[in-house]
Amino acid sequence: MERFKGVTVCEGIAIGPAYVLRENRENAHAAPDEERIPISEPDRVESELVRLEYALEKTRIRMDKMVLDAGVKAGKDAAQIFLMHKLVLEGNEFRNLSRICIEEGHMDVIDAVTQTGEALASKFAEMKDEYMAARADDVRDITREIISVIEEGMDEETPEDETAGEDVYPHILIAESLLPSDVIGLDRDRVQAIVTVEGSPTSHASILANMMDIPMVVSVPLNLEAIDDGTPVYVNADTGEVILQPDVDFAEEAKKSTDPERFELQHAVGAETRTRGGKHIDLYANIASLVDLKMALKNDAEGIGLYRSEFIFLDRPEPPTEDEQYSVYRKLLNVCKDKPLTIRTMDLGGDKRTSYLETDEKRGIAFSLEHPDLFRTQLRALIRASIHGDLRIMYPYVTSLEEVMQANSMFGEVKWKMLSEVGSINIPQGIMVETAAAVEQIDRLVEHAEFISIGTNDLTCDLYGIDRYERANPSIDDDYAKLFVNIRNVVKTAHKAGLKVSICGELAARRDYASRFLDTGADCLSVAPSKILLMRDHIINCCW
For residue 426, the domain's CATH number is 3.20.20.60
Q: Summarize pLDDT for 8-25 with one digit per residue, the tens.
A: 999 888 888 999 988 644
Residue 271 lies in a domain: yes
Average pLDDT over residues 492-497: 97
Residue 376 half-sphere exposure toward CB, CA atoms < 13 A: 13
- pLDDT above 90 for 519: yes
Q: Summarize pLDDT for 348-386 with one digit per residue, the tens.
A: 887 777 878 876 678 899 999 999 999 999 999 999 999
Q: Alpha-carbon distance 387 to 330, whole Å? A: 9
Residues 42, 13, single domain; the answer is: no
Q: What is the pLDDT of residue 34?
A: 42
Sheet with 171-175, side-by-side order of all strands: 2-5, 241-244, 232-236, 13-21, 171-175, 191-196, 216-218, 7-10
- pLDDT above 60 for 222: yes
Q: Alpha-carbon distance 461 to 507, whole Å? A: 12
214 Cβ neighbours under 8 A, 6+ residues apart: 10, 12, 183, 186, 188, 191, 193, 194
Q: pLDDT above 70 covers what percent of the chain? A: 89
Residues 273, 250, single domain; the answer is: no
Residue 214 lies in a domain: yes
In terms of pLDDT, which residue wins out, 259 or 289?
Answer: 289
Q: Summarize pLDDT for 376-432 with one digit per residue, the tens.
A: 999 999 999 999 999 999 999 999 999 999 999 999 999 999 988 888 789 999 999
Structural domain that includes position 523 = 265-542
Contact 395, 429 (CB under 8 A): yes
Average pLDDT over residues 487-507: 95
Per-residue HEC secondary structure of 16-54 comes to EEEEEECCCHHHCCCCCHHHCCCCCCHHHHHHHHHHHHH
Considering 258, 282, 308, which residue would you say is the last residue of a domain?
Answer: 258
Residues 176, 238, single domain; the answer is: yes
Q: Summarize pLDDT for 282-321 with one digit per residue, the tens.
A: 999 999 888 889 889 989 999 999 999 998 888 777 899 9
Helix (H) or strand (E) holding 487: helix 481-496
Residue 216 lies in a domain: yes
Q: Alpha-carbon distance 391 to 320, whole Å? A: 20
Q: Where are the beta strands (DSSP E) in 98-248?
A: 171-175, 191-196, 216-218, 232-236, 241-244
Query: CATH code at 226?
Result: 3.50.30.10
Residues 504, 430, single domain; the answer is: yes
Helix (H) or strand (E) holding 142: helix 136-152
Q: What is the pLDDT of residue 270?
A: 84
Give residue 262's pLDDT band: very low, low, confident or very high (50, 70, 90): low
3-state DSSP assignment of residue 264: helix
Average pLDDT over residues 334-346: 95
Q: What is the dihedral of CA 390, 395, 396, 397, to 10 degrees?
A: -150
Mean pLDDT of the chain: 86
Give residue 515's pLDDT band: very low, low, confident or very high (50, 70, 90): very high
Q: What is the pLDDT of residue 263?
A: 63
What is the identity of the amino acid at 270? Answer: G
Mean pLDDT lowest among 50-64, 121-135, 488-502: 121-135
How many helices, marked H, and strands, marked E, lie in the chain?
A: 22, 16
Considering 243, 258, 273, which residue would you say is the last residue of a domain?
Answer: 258
Residues 101, 37, single domain; the answer is: yes
Query: CATH code at 36?
Result: 1.10.274.10
Q: Residue 235 CB: number of other CB atoms within 10 A?
A: 27
Q: Summarize pLDDT for 152-179 with one digit per residue, the tens.
A: 875 444 444 444 444 567 899 999 999 9
Q: Where are the beta strands (DSSP E) in 276-383?
A: 282-287, 304-308, 341-344
Residue 460 lies in a domain: yes
DSSP state of 115: H
Residue 184 lies in a domain: yes
Contact 511, 534 (CB under 8 A): yes
Average pLDDT over residues 512-530: 93
Residues 329, 374, single domain; the answer is: yes
- pLDDT above 80 for 470: no
- pLDDT above 70 for 37: no
Residues 224, 111, single domain; the answer is: no
Residue 392 lies in a domain: yes
pTM greater than the 0.75 cutoff: no
- pLDDT above 50 for 31: no
Residue 108 lies in a domain: yes
Residues 30, 93, single domain; the answer is: yes
Residues 251, 361, single domain; the answer is: no
Residues 485, 368, single domain; the answer is: yes
Residue 157 lies in a domain: no
In terms of pLDDT, which residue wins out, 477 or 436?
Answer: 436
DSSP state of 105: T
Number of domains the chain is built from: 3
Residues 97, 186, single domain; the answer is: no
Residues 20, 30, single domain; the answer is: no
Residue 374 half-sphere exposure toward CB, CA atoms < 13 A: 23
Considering 202, 232, 258, which residue would you say is the last residue of a domain?
Answer: 258
Give residue 261's pLDDT band: very low, low, confident or very high (50, 70, 90): low
Partners of 236 in the β-ladder: 13, 241
For 310-343, b/e burial (b = at least 16 CB within 10 A) is bbbbbbbeebbebebbbbbbbbbbebbeebbbbb
CA angle, corner 464, sides to 458 and 468, nearest 5?
40
Q: What is the pLDDT of residue 193?
A: 94
- pLDDT above 90 for 194: yes
Q: Alpha-carbon distance 232 to 171, whole Å? A: 9
